[in-house]
Amino acid sequence: MHKGQISFPGGAFDHEDKTLFDTALRESAEEIGLMPKDIEVLGKLDDEVSQSSNYIISPFVALIPWPYQLKVDGEETEEIIELPISALRDKGYQRQEIINGEEVTSYFYHYQGRVIWGTTARILKKFLDIFDQITESK
């Protein structure tokens, strides 16, 4: 994402990465100390395009053991925000906006004085939609 915004760990594909999943693993280890051996991959969400920079983001979803000692790298990551899914479901809202002459739906999630918006919020919305489908079917 962009400096100063709330985002998931991630970054650009490196020539040493074999796949985008390898990129996600490497960046998660570098930025928040999440070691690849400690995750259980659940799947990949659809790609998301950043409206402001036109970057294509390929998000992956995984489980990690709880509790897990994540750590801030101090360079790309300023802090780690942990929030329950229930907080996202209770505090989200959306609105229609015109971006580059096109009407788009923007999502916003509020948690402890912070606002998650933009590409990160769209990725969370995709995740929550899938999560709701799975939990409703049970």
The answer to whether 119 and 57 are in contact (CB under 8 A) is yes
Instruction: Retrieve residue 81's tokens.
Output: 């925000």
Q: Stretch 62-73: mean pLDDT, rounded?
A: 94
Q: What does pTM read for this prediction?
A: 0.87
Banded pLDDT at 1 (limits 50, 70, 90): very low
As to burial, measured by CB atoms within 10 angstroms (0-12 exposed, 13-18 middle, 19+ buried), residue 29 is middle
CA pair distance 89, 138, nearest whole angstrom: 18
Helix spans in 4-70 (H) = 20-32
> What topology is assigned to 20-136 in CATH?
Nucleoside Triphosphate Pyrophosphohydrolase (3.90.79)
pLDDT above 70 (res 92): no
Predicted confidence (pLDDT) per residue in 9-39, tens digit: 999 999 999 999 999 999 999 999 999 999 9
CA pair distance 66, 40, nearest whole angstrom: 12
Q: Stretch 75-92: mean pLDDT, rounded?
A: 84
